[in-house]
Chains A and B, each alone.
Chain A
Amino acid sequence: DTAVSQTPKYLVTQMGNDKSIKCEQNLGHDTMYWYKQDSKKFLKIMFSYNNKELIINETVPNRFSPKSPDKAHLNLHINSLELGDSAVYFCASSPFSGAGGTGELFFGEGSRLTVL
C-alpha cells in the first residue's frame, strides 16, 4: 500500500481553468503538507494542516485553496490557472507538527501540472 498517494500524477490544462489535486495518507499522521517544486527543482512549502486545521499558509496566491475533509486527506484546488503555476506539486505527511517542528516527512510521488 502506498503511504502517501496523490492523484492525478500528470495534469495538462489550459490557462484559466480550475483543477484539483487529491492527496491521501494511510500512515495515521496528524499533519499534511503541500509543496511546490519549480522548474529549477526548488521545493517550497505552500500549506500545512494539522488535524484538519490550517497551520502554515505561505505567501501563496488565493487562487490556491487547500481543503482537508479529515486528517487523512488534503486536497489542493487551483482556480484560474496561470502559466506560472506549472510545477510539480508534492503532498507530504508527518506524525506531528506545531511550533516545535515536524516528525519524519513522507512524500507522495508528485503531481506534474502543466498549464498551456
Chain B
Amino acid sequence: KQEVTQIPAALSVPEGENLVLNCSFTDSAIYNLQWFRQDPGKGLTSLLLIQSSQREQTSGRLNASLDKSSGRSTLYIAASQPGDSATYLCAVGSRLTFGEGTQLTVNP
C-alpha cells in the first residue's frame, strides 16, 4: 500500500527566502507525481505534474524534482512571497495517495 510522507509539517520563512518542501513515497512504481497548493477554505490547485520518466518540472518560481528510485520528490520555491502562504500537498500513484501536506507561512 502506497504511503506518502511530507516533511516538514509546517514551515515559516521570511519573505524572499528560497525553500524546499519534501515528499517521500514507499512504492516507487508510480506513473506520475503531482504537487498542489490548498488555500484555507478552498479546493486544491495543481502546481506541477511530473511524469515518471521526467526528473523535474518548472513553472515560474517553482521547480519540482522526482527521484523514483529513492521514492522522493522535492518542491523548490524561489524568492518566496507572502502570497505563497498555503498548504502544499503531493499526490502519487494511480489511486492518488496524498501526503498530509506542509503548511507554509511566508512572513512579510
Are A and B a genuine interacting pair, yes or no? Answer: yes
Residues of A within 8 A of B (CB): 4, 33, 40-45, 56, 58, 90, 92, 97-110
Write out the residue numbers on chain A whose beta carbons fall within 8 Å of the beta carbon of B89: 43
Residue of B with least CB distance to A99: B94
Residue of B with least CB distance to A91: B43
Contacts A100-B31, A107-B45 known; A45 to B100 CB distance under 8 Å?
Answer: no
Residue of B with least CB distance to A4: B43
A-B contacts, CB under 8 A, total: 56
- Asked whether B96 lies within 8 Å of A45 as measured between CB atoms, the reply is yes
By the criterion of a CB under 8 Å from any partner CB, how many residues of chain B are at the interface?
Answer: 23
Contacts A41-B87, A43-B89, A107-B44 known; A102 to B98 CB distance under 8 Å?
Answer: no
- Asked whether A109 lies within 8 Å of B93 as measured between CB atoms, the reply is no
Write out the residue numbers on chain A whose beta carbons fall within 8 Å of the beta carbon of B87: 41
- Asked whether A109 lies within 8 Å of B100 as measured between CB atoms, the reply is no
Chain B nearest CB from A63 CB (Å) reads 21
**Which has the most chain B C-beta neighbours within 10 Å: A44, A102, A106, A108?**
A102
| Complex A-B, nearest 6 residue pairs according to Cβ-Cβ distance, in ascending order | A101-B31, A107-B43, A43-B98, A107-B44, A109-B43, A101-B94
Docked complex Cα distance between A42 and B3 (Å): 13
Sample (9) of A-B pairs whose CB atoms are under 8 Å apart: A42-B98, A43-B89, A98-B94, A101-B30, A101-B94, A102-B31, A103-B49, A105-B96, A107-B45
- Asked whether A104 lies within 8 Å of B95 as measured between CB atoms, the reply is no
